[in-house]
Amino acid sequence: MDPKTKTLIRGEIPNIINPLDKKAVEAALQLREKEGGEVVVLSMAPPNVIPVLREALAMGADRSILLSDVAFAGSDTLATSYVISAAIRKMSPYKLILCGDQTLDGSTGQVSAQIAEFLDIPNLMHVSAIETRKEDGYRVRSQIEHGNMWVKVKPPVVLSVTKEINEPRYITLMNILEGEKKTIEKWSSRDLLLIEPWVGLKGSPSQMSELFIPEAKRKLEMLGGAPSEMAKRLAERLHRLGYC
Residue 1 is assigned to a structural domain of this protein: no
Q: 27 in a domain, yes or no?
A: yes
Which pLDDT score, from 0 to 100, does residue 218 have?
79
| Residue 223: pLDDT over 70 | yes
- Residues spanned by the domain of 175: 10-191
Q: Is residue 213 part of a domain?
A: no
In a domain, 69, yes or no: yes
Q: Per the domain annotation, does 55 fall within a domain?
A: yes
Q: Count the neighbouring beta carbons within 10 Å of the beta carbon of residue 179.
A: 20
> How do residues 127-157 score in pLDDT, each as one tens digit?
999 998 777 789 999 999 889 999 999 999 9
pLDDT tens digits along 85-128:
999 999 999 999 999 998 887 778 899 999 999 999 999 999 99
pLDDT (0 to 100) of residue 158: 97
- Domain CATH for 157: 3.40.50.620
223 belongs to a structural domain = no
> Is 155 within the bounds of a domain?
yes
- Rounded to whole angstroms, the Cα distance separating 210 from 223 reads 41
pLDDT band at 15 (very low <50, low <70, confident <90, very high): confident
Per-residue pLDDT, 210: 75
In a domain, 237, yes or no: no
End-to-end CA distance of the chain, in Å?
36
Tell me which range, 143-152, 200-209, 219-228, is most confidently predicted by mean pLDDT.
143-152
Q: Residue 238: what pLDDT? A: 85
AA identity, residue 172: T
- How many domains would you assign to the chain? 1
